[in-house]
Chain A
Amino acid sequence: GQQLNQSPQSMFIQEGEDVSMNCTSSSIFNTWLWYKQEPGEGPVLLIALYKAGELTSNGRLTAQFGITRKDSFLNISASIPSDVGIYFCAGRLGAQKLVFGQGTRLTINP
């Protein structure tokens, strides 16, 4: 089936540092999404991207839809302790189905 390659798998950073993670696919997607999951909770949508080349921000978060439509990245600037969690990318195949990456686990040292 469809797979998304998300990297890195985990990150250990100092508070205040910037974070960058990305997803790549062998298939073209028409939508890229970024979710965050905290322990004991379901994923929460952070950013949705609908057009190739699109760059969208949500506070300290910025995400881009790759020109080839096969990749996307998420940046977090000036990380804070509440940014800790697992970040997932997801691509929308058709009208409804989402395919999720394996996640990037972010740990922040205060």
Chain B
Amino acid sequence: DAGVIQSPRHEVTEMGQEVTLRCKPISGHDYLFWYRQTMMRGLELLIYFNNNVPIDDSGMPEDRFSAKMPNASFSTLKIQPSEPRDSAVYFCASSPPTVLGTDTQYFGPGTRLTVL
């Protein structure tokens, strides 16, 4: 398996522009997570899905952020409009169904976003 795939790996944009980050989870995994990593705040959970349905979006910082999962093999995280403080590394992770919960989260390589 190719693992979790994220694109792009790097994104540089100007303030006010729309940014779309993409994720393809591992086939057969039914949980998908979006995280943001910064030096100041560390690794933060933004939102997660189960079977394509958003379960908890309490970590989404504000209305400028939105996430969708139209099918089991694709998810997007959109920021509109983007601001410099959104600069961070955004990770997608997926997890297989398990009675123990989602301990075995497999992370993608991340998208490094820079908003100028």
Contact = CB atoms under 8 A, between A and B. Distances in A.
Nearest to B91: A42
B43, B45, B50, B109 interface centre (most CB from chain A within 10 Å): B43
Q: Interface centre among A44, A97, A100, by most B CB within 10 Å?
A: A97
A40 B91 CA distance: 11
B51 interface: no
B45 A97 contact: yes
B26 interface: no
A85 interface: no
Nearest to B99: A95
B45 A98 contact: yes
Interface residues on B, range: 20 to 34
Interface residues of A, number: 22
B109 A42 contact: yes
A98 B34 CA distance: 12
Contacts of B91: 42-43
Nearest to A101: B42
B2 interface: no
Contacts of A23: none
A98 B42 contact: no
Interface of A: 31, 33, 40-45, 48, 50, 88, 92, 94-103
